[in-house]
Amino acid sequence: MSGQKFTLDHAKQLDNKDELASFREEFYIKEDGVYLDGNSLGLLSKRAEKSLLELLDSWKSYGIDGWLEGKHPWFYLSEALGKMSAPLVGAEPDEVIVTGSTTANLHQLVSTFYKPEGKRTKILADEITFPTDIYALKSQIELKGYDPEEHLIRVKSTDGHLLAEEDIIAAMTDEVSVVVLSGILYRSGQVLDMERLTKEAYNRNIIIGFDLCHSIGSIPHELSNWGADFAFWCNYKHLNGGPGAVGGLYVNKRHFGKTPGLTGWFGSRKDKQFDMEHTLIPADDAGAYQMGTPHIFSLAPLLGSLEMFNEAGMDRIRKKSMQLTGYMMDLIAHELDGYDFVVRNPIEDEKRGGHLFLEHPEAARICKALKAHHIIPDFRSPNGIRLAPVALYNTFEEVWRTVQKLKKIMDDEEYKQFENKRGVVA
């Protein structure tokens, strides 16, 4: 990068070439700030607001008849959103359902596919995955009568940030029943080679599933072509479904007909559900993995949000995302050398997800200083700063402004006015 490329003019030139620039106008953005926490909670879009208000109006207009009447009948809403989500994970429409939450869906899927017998009694995960996955896996192992300390294998990370796929594959022994891994690691943003890992698990007759919370809406997937058995995710990060948005799950069609581990009446075949029989007739597709009544108003924003993703296309989103994070890394290397920041995310484009991860001894107070300047990062204990320039609404100029402000905060020691301690929610 020449010196000219570190200028504000260059950032503006990059924005002028941005073929996704028009999508920024779809979002509610505070023009005096920079929002870089879309990998925790995406911003509200005007389309998501519109679809939420439409569903609210359907309640007002139809009452209970809203289950079958109106533009978006509630009875089929989870299935409709599953079809809209399918292109984002590379699945067939009937392999995806929008339902539950990340943890509830993980419990559902593991209770279905974890069938310990003989030597195959263990679940394989890793030691740096998001805590909720470990909590759920331990719970499922205990429910089967096993000791999690012995039957939950956690692949080690050599540096506490990245995983070596060779180590994961080496841990796929004949004692493993199920593998659960993240598509993108939540701290470092490392993208795992899901296709390779799926093939290795398949060759060993091991069921494999993926947590896509940080990868859906950030990178393209080909779950069906890869042959993954299952996947689950939240919809409030890159997909901008709103706080507490309903989650999603994928089940490969080769498993259709399998009775879910946790059954509920909304997993019924649609034409049989209101027969009110005490013998469940499950749906013939991923809809079988639903349990209770869908949360209509937490589903509604996704109608607008997913529409935008299918218009933008994941290939274009991924291309811009890599450009944004690559540009930010170049600026950090140029402007912040000597300030004790350590880049912990992968440098290679194909191995890096939609956010950067910096470490600094004063990370908590640096994040507070950024927020005082209306720049919103994400702190991760004990000393991590996540920065997520999102393709649909962040700009190259915002990336440039953020790094310049970060340099000023360090030069002027502004961070010292804050306590180096996380808040209740961090």
The gap from C-alpha 414 to its chain's centroid, in whole angstroms, comes to: 33
Q: Is 293 annotated as a binding residue?
A: yes
> What's the whole-model pTM score?
0.97
Is 183 inside a domain boundary? yes
CATH number for the domain that contains residue 24: 3.90.1150.10
Amino acid at 318: R
Does residue 72 share a domain with residue 54? Answer: yes
Q: Which domain holds residue 411?
A: 3-32+313-417
Last residue in a domain, options 283, 311, 339: 311
Last residue in a domain, options 284, 311, 338: 311
Q: Is 103 annotated as a binding residue?
A: yes
Please give the structure tokens belonging to residue 248.
């999603």
Does residue 278 share a domain with residue 327? Answer: no
The residues of the chain scoring below 50 in pLDDT are none
Last residue in a domain, options 277, 311, 345: 311
Residue with tokens 């022994």: 173
- Residue 243: burial class (beta carbons within 10 Å; 0-12, 13-18, 19+): exposed
In order of 58, 91, 96, 156, 223, the CA distances from 183 in angstroms are 37, 15, 17, 17, 11
Long-range contacts of 412-415 (CB under 8 A, 24+ apart): 414/369, 414/372, 415/362, 415/365, 415/366, 415/368, 415/369
Does residue 362 share a domain with residue 222? Answer: no
Q: Is 265 annotated as a binding residue?
A: yes
Domain count, the chain: 2
Q: Is 259 annotated as a binding residue?
A: no
Is 424 inside a domain boundary? no
> What b/e string do you get for 43-71 counting C-beta neighbours within 10 Å, with b at 16 or more?
bbbebbeebbeebeebeeeeeeebbeebe
Q: Is 102 annotated as a binding residue?
A: yes
Does residue 248 share a domain with residue 108? Answer: yes
Q: Is 99 annotated as a binding residue?
A: no
3-state secondary structure 212-270: CCCCCCCCCCCHHHHCCCEEEECCCCCCCCCCCCCCEEEECHHHCCCCCCCCCHHHECC
Contact 157, 128 (CB under 8 A): yes
Q: Is 173 annotated as a binding residue?
A: no
Does residue 291 share a domain with residue 149? Answer: yes
Please give the structure tokens belonging to residue 406.
């970060």
Is 422 inside a domain boundary? no
Is 39 inside a domain boundary? no
Is 38 inside a domain boundary? no
Is 241 inside a domain boundary? yes
Residue 258: the pLDDT is 94
* Residue 70 backbone zone (phi > 0: left; psi -120 to 50: alpha; other: beta): left
Contacts of 151 (CB under 8 A, 6+ apart): 116, 121, 122, 123, 141
Residue 1: the pLDDT is 52
CATH number for the domain that contains residue 66: 3.40.640.10
Q: Is 65 annotated as a binding residue?
A: no
If you write DSSP's letter for every residue of 270-316 in order, what string do you get?
TTTGGG--SS--B-SSGGGG--S---HHHHHHHHHHHHHHHHH-HHH
Is 41 inside a domain boundary? no
Contacts of 132 (CB under 8 A, 6+ apart): 102, 103, 106
Residue 386: the pLDDT is 98
Q: Is 271 annotated as a binding residue?
A: no
SS3 417: helix
Does residue 199 share a domain with residue 249? Answer: yes
Does residue 342 share a domain with residue 262? Answer: no
Residue 2: the pLDDT is 65
Does residue 332 share a domain with residue 207? Answer: no
How many CB atoms are closer than 10 A to CB 234?
A: 24
CA-wise closest residue to 392 among 330, 329, 318, 332: 318
Taking the C-alpha atoms of residue 45 and residue 393, their distance in angstroms, rounded to an integer, is 10
Is 256 inside a domain boundary? yes
Does residue 339 share a domain with residue 238? Answer: no
Does residue 327 share a domain with residue 205? Answer: no
Does residue 16 share a domain with residue 78? Answer: no
Does residue 178 share a domain with residue 88? Answer: yes
Residue 4: the pLDDT is 87
Please give the structure tokens belonging to residue 54.
């439409």
Taking the C-alpha atoms of residue 191 and residue 216, their distance in angstroms, rounded to an integer, is 12
Residue 421: the pLDDT is 85
Report angle CA 107, 209, 173 to the nearest 5 degrees: 105
Taking the C-alpha atoms of residue 415 and residue 351, their distance in angstroms, rounded to an integer, is 32
Residue 95: the pLDDT is 99
Taking the C-alpha atoms of residue 14 and residue 254, their distance in angstroms, rounded to an integer, is 45
Contact 375, 33 (CB under 8 A): yes
